[in-house]
Structure 1
Amino acid sequence: MAQTASLEILDGTPVVAGTAYGPVVWPGERPTYDVGGHPEVPESDRGAHQQRFADAAATVATRLRDRASASSGAAAEVLVATAALAEDRGWIGAANAAIGAGAPAEAAAIAATEKFTAMFTKLGGLMAERVTDLEDVRDRVLAVLTDTPEPGVPQPDRPSVLLADDLAPADTAGLDPAVIVALVTRLGGPTSHTAIIARQLGIPCIVAVSGLRAVSSGVPVLVDGSAGTLTVAPDETDARELVERSARRAAEVAGWRGPGRTADGRSVAVLANVADGVSARAAVGHPVEGVGLFRTELAFLDRAQAPSVEEQTSLYREVIDAFGDRKVVIRTLDAGSDKPLGFVAQPAEANPALGVRGNRIVVSHPDIRTAQLDAIAAAARESGTSPWVMAPMIAGPADAAEFAAEVRARGLVAGVMIEIPSAAILADAVLAEVDFVSIGTNDLTQYTMAADRMSAELAALTDPWQPAVLRLIEMIGSAGIRAEKPVGVCGEAAADPLLACVLVGMGVTSLSSAPAASAAVGARLAQVDLDQCRAAADAALASSDPVAARTAAAAVLDSGPSAP
């Protein structure tokens, strides 16, 4: 916490740029239940309590799926995954066991959740990310069991700033940007579900802010999503002037219509991340040149049986048709024990982030990828297009060559994700096997820094401005230049306008992010030339920490285009 004059300023990790001012609102209290305040349930009534619990869990799952169907993109994906948690067999089994031992349904929900959150926390990585989700499911089930309102974010009667320890995906996905003008959390990291959905909504966001609990509801605050600061009780006139200035910049950005290119004419494709036909059709309304990441998980999650080739073909056609003859890059299934498939028996893993996920599922379940590639090929034939296809979790050239052979056999353009440091180090050899690569900066950062991306304590380590991460990206970009093949970025780093310029300076040829971020990225690129981008990249690479890297890059890029 810093002190400037009489102002109290809290520092955090910037996620979404922009300035907002308004009174603080906090989420309502979660439901409570006195576990020890109820007698043991008679054996004759335990079956009824098990049914009550099952009905409540089913009700919560249905409500979450309904909200998912009204959402799109990342919001829909996380809501579907959260609905699956409400019907998880292990969690329900643990609750039924507790009821069988005499606990009422409400206490059983709490006991089962405590068991699984302890396990998820111990496992760490992507599994720890599910703790907030499961606790949210528990609270919603308790609300149904006790006939009280479901927990959630309040709907204030004027534009307000939402502060929270953390937010469950179901809460973040339902935010109204017209009412909640900024989001600040005490926990979370720059690649958490909360951060990703905030980018999709386009509202200023800061995470990992210590001391946040001391700020009371109703207190006016100023949020600077670019600097990562929250100012408590600022001068209202000054705050509103800063907001107006930010709004003018946003209006200028909103006028950008593409295509992506630097001030000296170097083309840089500005693309969208989508998850289904709904999000693809919404993305078309933004100044994007196509799709750089089509996450296909929604076709597979929350299903008892694998989707047929025909079902998948229809889903892929929705995205392809939305963009016509424009570029569409499809990522094959990225699931594993962290995002379990209902139709695949996968053993629990000690560390799912380093386990059987992504393309690695092919070893034990090759039919999943075969059917998916067949469906993509069918969608391509029907639409008369040639989508690009890439696989996640590729460790090196052997993986890349095997995948590329399968893709090319179907007449498609073959690429891979680079998100494992080994693939970055061997980028020349990987690029020799494929037609393009796309860098997933979220996982590349997590794996490079050995830091759980959900840890607020480690948020500085999971910052994509980490010089070690930038060094790996520069290696990949240089390999792409040598091979004369495209190198994209489809992680959350591509949504940062300043970092986007640095990435271009490293040889990146396309940037794919939440559609809401596309105009800001494109407008920033249009203000600088390629030499500036290269100089900014050099300055960032010469820095020893992410804050210094940001500052050094900004100093270069804010100096204006290089003289001819």
Structure 2
Amino acid sequence: MYSGTAVVPGIGVGPVVRPAPRPTAPEHEEAGDPSVTTVAFGTAAAEVARRLRARSKAASGAASEVLSATATLAEDRGLATFVTKHATQGAGPATATTAAIEELAAMFTAAGGLMAERVTDLYDVRDRIVAELLELPEPGIPVPDEPSVLLADDLAPADTAGLDPARIVAIATELGGSTSHTAIIARQLGIPCVVAVTDLHDVTAGDRVAVDGSRGTVTVDPDEAQVAALVEEDRRTREAAAGWTGPGRTADGHEVQILANVQDGAGARVAAEQPIEGVGLFRTELSFLDRSTEPTVDEQADIYAAVFEAMGDKKVIVRTLDAGSDKPLAFANQPDEPNPALGVRGLRIGLADPAMLDRQLDGIAAAQARTGADVRVMAPMVTTEAEAQWFAERVRARGLLAGIMIETPSTVLLADRMFRHLDFVSIGTNDLSQYTFAADRMAPTLSDLTDPWQPALLASIKLVADAGRRAGKPVGVCGEAAAHPLLACVLTGLGVTSLSCAATAVRPVGAKLAQVTLAQCEAAAEAALAAPDHARAAQAAAEHLA
């Protein structure tokens, strides 16, 4: 049995499949004219980007987001510059591409934080461009003839986003963390998933394994009786989830709103098919990742209205542009930074260019006026009381309710003061975890620190929830922690009033809450807070939620 970080609950059993070998540049590739090499790279990169964007448009939610972001990497001007440099030094197209990616990956790794997360994406772009240059089949995941378990060192977003849950019944990777692209997309697809599994490379293709996405284990050649019991338990859990129709509340009637995270109208329409009470996180920046110029107020209003209309009279919480770091926007004029995760991102872009923020708020207000929707607006990456007040005044000037994302320790410590200016807050556990523990959330050796069960993270959430209760204002969670059924119960016990997650996680979360009382949730929260580490926090909580 191998252990890792559990990220998507469920059981998957079957033979192992692994990604096909990636293409490599020929050992003695003919160099040729540097200008011809540069043109060949540009043509191949454009074709790769085109395919990725086509997949992005066909996907939704996080899958669409990461495919679009990977397409942007393929056409990155810095990458093209490095390829030209190596071409002038005598490298052929595939060799120049490989060398350029290695150079860029080293820079991303040195930058750390969210930039380091993109290294897997860079290598995926390299392989796709090299395959295009060498006229080889596009690399990716094999399509098995029977339900199988996918094991890999790591998975590129483009590979994960295209998985068929009927054929790939579970995923386990040696790298990654609970907020990695693999985990996020697997959650959206509803595929049981475990990441950061040590020594997973020892398991070979064809081995029969059982992946337990609730306990974080991968068992080779499992006992069939034990597998049968786990599968039956998983069947009952899925049956309960399928039968849950909302609204969100515990067995004794304590209300907890269950909301969905969306990125556009298409995603909102899919989410609306679930028994949700609205949208807890509308990621507006994801609609603009491929735009070279800022959309007009009217264009923005059309995009926002599509989400508002899909939700009808249900509330929608809109997050203003969370650009920067791993989500660069060409029209935001963001500078190159040594550590983008700690640089100009989120509200800091609005502070530097208030007119751009005002145009977005005007677009949101126009869409709200057109649809009559119940709209609230929150800002990401807020760090001071003055920033919260500045943002809230702009939002309220347009007749809308104002809130912020709680993603930094400073906003946790000053939560009472933040509520003086706000109508609500929403905790982004992904970034709050990363900044609280000073740990790159993609570093496999640090995945224990960024696990959402960490008691220090739970203590931070409790501080904010307590401040919200004193102010009589709602406190939501819209990070990946809200998608885990057991952890959702603990969050409820901490005082969180709403949970926003991927649409596929809505029913499992709601069904689990419906099976336990508020007293059980509170007892589980106390037990988790008192635990010495994340693993024992999860174990202690589970004992109260059985």
Please state which band the TM-score falls in when normalised by the shorter chain. over 0.9
Equivalent position to 1:376, from 364, 373, 386: 364
Return the alpha-carbon distance in structure 1 between the equivalents of residues 152 and 59 of structure 2.
Answer: 22
Amino acid in structure 2 at the alignment position of 1:93: T
Match in the other structure for 2:3: 11
Q: Over residues 262-309 of structure 1, what are the superposed CA-to-partner deviations in whole Å (9 max), with x where a residue is unaligned?
A: 111111000000111111111111121110001011222122111111
1:555 aligned onto 2:546: no
Return the alpha-carbon distance in structure 2 between the equivalents of residues 179 and 254 of structure 1.
Answer: 20
Q: 3-state DSSP class of the match of 1:488? A: strand
Q: 3-state DSSP class of the match of 1:471? A: helix
Return the alpha-carbon distance in structure 2 between the equivalents of residues 232 and 337 of structure 1.
Answer: 39
Match in the other structure for 2:156: 168
Change (3 A) 1:419 1:178: same
Return the alpha-carbon distance in structure 2 between the equivalents of residues 216 and 338 of structure 1.
Answer: 33
Equivalent position to 2:206, from 218, 221, 236: 218
1:179 aligned onto 2:167: yes
Amino acid in structure 1 at the alignment position of 2:206: G
Return the alpha-carbon distance in structure 2 between the equivalents of residues 234 and 269 of structure 1.
Answer: 39
1:87 aligned onto 2:75: yes
Match in the other structure for 1:488: 476
Return the alpha-carbon distance in structure 2 between the equivalents of residues 323 and 239 of structure 1.
Answer: 40
Match in the other structure for 1:6: none
How many Å apart are 1:325 and its aligned residue?
0.5
How many Å apart are 1:398 and its aligned residue?
1.1
Amino acid in structure 2 at the alignment position of 1:10: Y
What is the TM-score normalised by the length of structure 1?
0.95
Equivalent position to 1:76, from 64, 80, 99: 64
Return the alpha-carbon distance in structure 1 between the equivalents of residues 34 and 107 of structure 2.
Answer: 26
Return the alpha-carbon distance in structure 2 between the equivalents of residues 368 and 95 of structure 1.
Answer: 34
Write the mapping of 1:510-525 to structure 2, written as runs, cut at 5 A. Answer: 510-525=498-513
Write the mapping of 1:187-266 to structure 2, written as runs, cut at 5 A. Answer: 187-266=175-254
Equivalent position to 2:453, from 448, 451, 465: 465
How many Å apart are 1:347 and its aligned residue?
2.0
Could you tell me whether the CA contact under 8 Å between 1:337 and 1:346 is conserved in 2?
A: no
Q: Over residues 65-106 of structure 1, what are the superposed CA-to-partner deviations in whole Å (9 max), with x where a residue is unaligned?
A: 000010001110111111000100111111112112221111
Equivalent position to 2:530, from 508, 521, 542: 542
Q: Over residues 510-533 of structure 1, what are the superposed CA-to-partner deviations in whole Å (9 max), with x where a residue is unaligned?
A: 000001111111111111222221
1:38 aligned onto 2:29: yes
1:24 aligned onto 2:12: no
Match in the other structure for 1:281: 269
Match in the other structure for 2:287: 299
Write the mapping of 1:310-329 to structure 2, written as runs, cut at 5 A. Answer: 310-329=298-317
Q: Over residues 515-552 of structure 1, what are the superposed CA-to-partner deviations in whole Å (9 max), with x where a residue is unaligned?
A: 11111111111112222212211111111111111111
1:445 aligned onto 2:437: no
Q: 3-state DSSP class of the match of 1:457? A: helix
Amino acid in structure 2 at the alignment position of 1:66: A
1:508 aligned onto 2:499: no
1:385 aligned onto 2:344: no
How many Å apart are 1:248 and its aligned residue?
2.6
Which shows bigger deviation, 390-399 or 45-54?
A: 45-54
Could you tell me whether the CA contact under 8 Å between 1:21 and 1:240 is conserved in 2?
A: no
Q: Over residues 462-506 of structure 1, what are the superposed CA-to-partner deviations in whole Å (9 max), with x where a residue is unaligned?
A: 011111111110000000100000000000000111111111111
How many Å apart are 1:132 and its aligned residue?
0.5
Which shows bigger deviation, 445-454 or 524-533?
A: 524-533
Could you tell me whether the CA contact under 8 Å between 2:114 and 2:325 is conserved in 1?
A: no
Q: 3-state DSSP class of the match of 1:163? A: strand
Displacement over 4 Å in runs of 4+:
none
Return the alpha-carbon distance in structure 2 between the equivalents of residues 234 and 536 of structure 1.
Answer: 31
Change (3 A) 1:238 1:557: closer
How many Å apart are 1:234 and its aligned residue?
1.3
Change (3 A) 1:241 1:556: closer
Return the alpha-carbon distance in structure 2 between the equivalents of residues 522 and 423 of structure 1.
Answer: 29
1:424 aligned onto 2:428: no
Q: 3-state DSSP class of the match of 1:389? A: strand
How many Å apart are 1:396 and its aligned residue?
2.3
Match in the other structure for 1:134: 122
Number of residue pairs the alignment of both structures matches: 546
Match in the other structure for 1:360: 348
Which shows bigger deviation, 107-116 or 235-244?
A: 235-244
Change (3 A) 1:363 1:103: same
Amino acid in structure 1 at the alignment position of 2:251: A
Return the alpha-carbon distance in structure 2 between the equivalents of residues 536 and 273 of structure 1.
Answer: 26
Match in the other structure for 1:271: 259
Write the mapping of 1:115-134 to structure 2, written as runs, cut at 5 A. Answer: 115-134=103-122
Q: Over residues 357-391 of structure 1, what are the superposed CA-to-partner deviations in whole Å (9 max), with x where a residue is unaligned?
A: 00001232222211110100000000012301000
Which shows bigger deviation, 256-265 or 337-346?
A: 337-346
Which shows bigger deviation, 74-83 or 341-350?
A: 341-350
Q: 3-state DSSP class of the match of 2:170? A: strand
Return the alpha-carbon distance in structure 1 between the equivalents of residues 286 and 9 of structure 2.
Answer: 29
Return the alpha-carbon distance in structure 1 between the equivalents of residues 144 and 355 of structure 2.
Answer: 50
Which shows bigger deviation, 325-334 or 45-54?
A: 45-54
How many Å apart are 1:241 and its aligned residue?
4.2
Match in the other structure for 2:53: 65
List gaps (5 residues or longer) in structure 2: none
Could you tell me whether the CA contact under 8 Å between 2:61 and 2:262 is conserved in 1?
A: yes
Amino acid in structure 1 at the alignment position of 2:238: A
Q: Over residues 166-190 of structure 1, what are the superposed CA-to-partner deviations in whole Å (9 max), with x where a residue is unaligned?
A: 1111001001000000000000000
Return the alpha-carbon distance in structure 1 between the equivalents of residues 226 and 412 of structure 2.
Answer: 46
Return the alpha-carbon distance in structure 1 between the equivalents of residues 374 and 113 of structure 2.
Answer: 36
Equivalent position to 2:134, from 127, 146, 149: 146
Q: Over residues 136-178 of structure 1, what are the superposed CA-to-partner deviations in whole Å (9 max), with x where a residue is unaligned?
A: 0111000110000011011001000000111111001001000
How many Å apart are 1:310 and its aligned residue?
1.2
Could you tell me whether the CA contact under 8 Å between 1:386 and 1:413 is conserved in 2?
A: no
Match in the other structure for 1:3: none
Could you tell me whether the CA contact under 8 Å between 2:176 and 2:444 is conserved in 1?
A: yes
Return the alpha-carbon distance in structure 2 between the equivalents of residues 341 and 53 of structure 1.
Answer: 24
Amino acid in structure 2 at the alignment position of 1:32: T
Change (3 A) 1:497 1:337: closer
List gaps (5 residues or longer) in structure 1: 1-8, 559-564
Return the alpha-carbon distance in structure 1 between the equivalents of residues 184 and 442 of structure 2.
Answer: 12
Return the alpha-carbon distance in structure 1 between the equivalents of residues 400 and 88 of structure 2.
Answer: 54
Q: 3-state DSSP class of the match of 1:387? A: strand
Return the alpha-carbon distance in structure 1 between the equivalents of residues 355 and 162 of structure 2.
Answer: 36
Amino acid in structure 2 at the alignment position of 1:353: A
Match in the other structure for 1:561: none
Return the alpha-carbon distance in structure 1 between the equivalents of residues 63 and 513 of structure 2.
Answer: 28
1:413 aligned onto 2:405: no
Q: Over residues 7-61 of structure 1, what are the superposed CA-to-partner deviations in whole Å (9 max), with x where a residue is unaligned?
A: xx000000011111000000000001134x13443xxx22222111100000000
Return the alpha-carbon distance in structure 2 between the equivalents of residues 345 and 397 of structure 1.
Answer: 26
Change (3 A) 1:453 1:428: same
Could you tell me whether the CA contact under 8 Å between 2:279 and 2:500 is conserved in 1?
A: yes
Could you tell me whether the CA contact under 8 Å between 2:261 and 2:478 is conserved in 1?
A: yes
Return the alpha-carbon distance in structure 2 between the equivalents of residues 199 and 464 of structure 1.
Answer: 15
Could you tell me whether the CA contact under 8 Å between 1:299 and 1:312 is conserved in 2?
A: no
